[in-house]
Amino acid sequence: GLDGSETHAMSQLIRELADAGIAVLLVEHDMSMVMSIADQIVVLEEGKKLAEGTPEEIGNDATVVDAYLGVVHA
């Protein structure tokens, strides 16, 4: 894995490439990094597409939250 400074440098590089019109496919589990740099996100669960959308849409998608964070039942 990358440490904090390496993650920041990688994020900057990916954003620069995207700003230059170069498509970037990122497979990553660091969701804070993904949410901060992605324009579009595809979420997979067990190899199947669970959701697709902007970071805001993904962050508000109950199925994604359930799959990745779990659900608290009272």
Same domain, 31 and 12: yes
Nearest Cα neighbor of 64 from 46, 47, 51 is 51
Number of domains in the chain: 2
Same domain, 6 and 32: yes
Same domain, 73 and 56: yes
Confidence of residue 2 (pLDDT cuts 50, 70, 90): confident
Strands 41-45 and 48-53: antiparallel
12-48 pLDDT per residue, tens: 999 999 999 999 999 998 888 999 999 999 999 999 9
Residue 1 token pair? 């894995």
Same domain, 48 and 20: no
39-62 pLDDT per residue, tens: 999 999 999 999 999 999 999 999
Residue for token pair 């324009």: 39
Structural domain for 64, as ranges: 40-74
Same domain, 26 and 48: no
